[in-house]
Amino acid sequence: MSKTAGNANVFTAIADPTRRAILDLLRQGEQPVKQIAQPFEMSLPAISQHLSVLCEAKLVTQRKEGRQRFYRLNPEPLKQVSDWVNHYEQFWQEKLDVLGNYLEDNS
């Protein structure tokens, strides 16, 4: 998979609020799928589909222990998102600084 495709998968994966909530849950540590599904009002297969998208984007890793699957957060791909947002944060900070200076000069 190309780097561009990988970036698109990360952004697609975090676009869904349920998947973002799953990532937040996994910040607490590795969890089995049933535990991940508890706070959501959806079926276990639906949660598994969300986890599949997160695994495909490499935001989550899974391991099997017997018949159970455990999921763990892999935050590294989120650095791409942070780097991208950082460019816009700098842009807006500069705009706010200019606005602040303008308001001070014209008050």
Where residue 15 sits, what CATH number does that domain have?
A: 1.10.10.10
Q: Is residue 90 part of a domain?
A: no
Q: Is residue 84 part of a domain?
A: no
Order of strands, edge to edge, in the sheet holding 60-65?
31-32, 68-73, 60-65
Taking the C-alpha atoms of residue 78 and residue 82, their distance in angstroms, rounded to an integer, is 6
Q: Is residue 28 part of a domain?
A: yes
> How many other C-beta atoms can be found within 10 angstroms of the C-beta atom of residue 96?
10
Q: Which domain holds residue 37?
A: 3-75
Q: pTM of the prediction?
A: 0.77
What is the pLDDT at residue 6? 52
Q: Is residue 45 part of a domain?
A: yes
What is the pLDDT at residue 45? 96
The tens place of each residue's pLDDT in the chain, 107 residues long, gives 444 445 568 999 999 999 999 999 999 999 999 999 999 999 999 999 999 999 999 999 999 999 999 999 999 999 989 888 888 888 888 888 888 988 989 87
Number of structural domains found in the chain: 1
What is the pLDDT at residue 1? 45
